Amino acid sequence: MELCNYPCPNQTRHYEIEAIQIPIVYNRFGDYDPDGLLYVLKKDATRIRNGALQNFHQDIPQPYEEVMPLVIRANVGEKIIVTFSHSLNRPLSIHVQGLDYDVQTSDGASVGFNKDSTTLHQITYTWYAAKEGVFIFHDMGDSTGNEDGTNIHGLFGAIIVEATGSKWLNPQNGDELESGLFADIYHPSKPAFREYAVFFHDELEIKNKDGEQPTDPHTGLPSSTTAISYRSEPMRNRPPLTHDHADTGEDISMSSWVYQDPAPPIPRAYVGDPSKIRLIHGGVKETHVFHLHNHQWRLEGDNPNSTIIDSISISPQECYTLDILHGAGSLNGTFGDVIFHCHLYPHFHEGMWTLWRIHDRLEDGTGALPDGTALKADSSSLSQNLSVTVVSMPISEK
């Protein structure tokens, strides 16, 4: 379709995005990338930079909660104007994959005879959201995949396009959300759902808390680090408690009761909540296999005859929406912690795993995590809206 004929229902959405460079700390054990790069909303840049640096300069560098891949949202039919700026003394850009744009002005690349739409300071891009789904964006000012490039240091994000008329709220308190990995999506005539953006990325340039190359305690050899959304929980940091085999199984090594929660963000839901995982491969190196325990989805979400799966291969720069069948907890109403991870075991071992936490009763602020950390209260209207709607339906109709 010609861009001049694009059906835009009078809605233009503006985002001001900045690229910043800070150390990104990947877990509480102090593994970090000294040259981390990320996109942030410009208005959040100072707060995030200051918070990240303060946490980095602890005895053991600590992650800062707001250092996350940037996820923005729009509705189908909208025009999105992105003002992108940075002060990093190198050409950078935002190149989006899957939205419509004029290649001469908004490609975010310097290719062939097209105009150069990377920038040393500031540039404005215009995108058009034609269809629902999740779409990666990343820097094309430097498209190399090595340690001098920008990708392995984190310079990627995603835009999620929702059904026309949707709004997105903070899952914790019900406030309108400007950006964020996790959101509750509401629509005037469609069921609400939990939305979780999950970024896989790999072959990171990571140092341990002492500034050294991490090593595997069993082999003494260099240990790679794989990540989910700027966090990683490598098993090198979770040594067996004793030499007894009873203390070394997965039920111990993956348990929050023993080792606290893993570092990658933990999505939360109540049993029965409709849930979509927006899976993104942010890296440029390796193919992974996303596997979620206890749950399934259809390979083609909008095709009721499509194959039911619980794992999916995802290659660099790909994105998938996983519309979880029967919602959180699946048909049998499981609650508790459900693991998801890369099913290539070296990647799993090197940090690419976390949990989906599914509650069976309202978290009103009196609960605590296994390590004693208090759980914040959820807005009761939100969690009950989402869960009761589905739980009250007969199972045969779910």
Nearer to Cu ion, 110 or 224 (CB): 224
Cα 153 to Cα 260: distance, rounded to the nearest angstrom: 26
Contact assessment for residue 254 and residue 339, using Cβ atoms and an 8 Å cutoff = yes
Pair type for strands 275-281 and 193-201:
parallel
Least separation, in Å, of the C-beta of 342 and Cu ion? 3
User: Whose Cβ is closer to Cu ion: residue 56's or residue 353's?
Assistant: 353
Q: How far apart are CA 201 and CA 214, in angstroms?
A: 18
CA distance 378 to 52: 26
Cβ proximity to Cu ion, 205 vs 360, nearer residue? 205
Look up residue 179 and give its amino acid. Answer: S
Q: Which of 49, 231, 278, 347 binds Cu ion (CB under 5 A)?
A: 347
Alpha-carbon distance 397 to 388, whole Å? 14
Q: In 3-state terms, the chain is what percent helix, strand and coil (to 5)?
A: 15, 30, 55
Least distance (Å) from Cu ion to the CB of residue 230?
16
Rounded CA gap, 195 and 189, in Å?
A: 17
Identify which range of 140-148, 230-238, 316-324, 339-347 contacts Cu ion by CB under 5 A.
339-347
Q: 105 with 3: CB under 8 angstroms?
A: no
Rg (CA), the chain: 21
User: Which CB, 38 or 342, lies closer to Cu ion?
Assistant: 342
Q: Which is nearer to Cu ion, 61 or 234 (CB)?
A: 234
Alpha-carbon distances, residue 319 vs 108, 135, 194 (angstroms): 19, 6, 18
In sequence order, the β-bridge partners of residue 127 are 80
Nearest-approach distance from CB 146 to Cu ion, in angstroms: 19
Least distance to Cu ion, CB of residue 381, Å = 39
Judged by beta carbon, residue 77 or residue 214, the one nearer Cu ion is: 214
Q: Minimum distance between the CB of residue 293 and Cu ion, rounded to whole angstroms?
A: 16
- Identify which range of 62-70, 72-80, 320-328, 340-348 contacts Cu ion by CB under 5 A: 340-348
Minimum distance from CB of 298 to Cu ion (Å)?
A: 23
Q: How far apart are CA 180 and CA 199, in angstroms?
A: 12
Assigned token pair, 89: 């003394």
CB 149 within 8 A of CB 203: no
Report the 10 Å Cβ neighbour count for 146: 11
Tell me whether residue 231 or residue 347 sits nearer to Cu ion (CB atom).
347
Size of the site for Cu ion (CB under 5 A): 4
The smaller minimum CB distance to Cu ion, of residues 336 and 346, is found at 346
Q: Which stretch binds Cu ion (CB under 5 A): 42-50, 74-82, 153-161, 338-346?
A: 338-346
Question: What is the pairing mode between strands 122-128 and 95-96?
Answer: unpaired
Rounded Cα distance, 126 and 137, in Å: 13
Q: In angstroms, what is the minimal distance from the CB of 338 to Cu ion? A: 19
For the CB of residue 314, give the shortest distance to Cu ion in the complex, in Å.
Answer: 9
Residue 73 or 347 having the CB closest to Cu ion: 347
Per-position x/- string for 277-306, each x denoting binding to Cu ion as judged by CB under 5 A, each - no binding:
-----------x------------------
> Quick one: 161 or 344, whose CB is closer to Cu ion?
344
Q: How far is the CB of 322 from Cu ion (least distance, A)?
A: 16
Work out how close the CB of 253 gets to Cu ion at its nearest, in angstroms, rounded to a whole number. 18
Residue type, 331: L
Smallest gap from Cβ 225 to Cu ion, in A, equals 12
Hey, what are 7's tokens? 């059906």
Q: Are 13 and 78 in contact (CB under 8 A)?
A: yes
Look at the block and give the residue holding tokens 């707060």: 47
Examine residue 342 and tell whether it contacts Cu ion (CB under 5 A). Answer: yes
Q: Which is nearer to Cu ion, 347 or 349 (CB)?
A: 347
Closest CA to 163 of 353, 302, 61: 302
Residues of this chain that bind Cu ion (CB under 5 A) = 288, 342, 344, 347
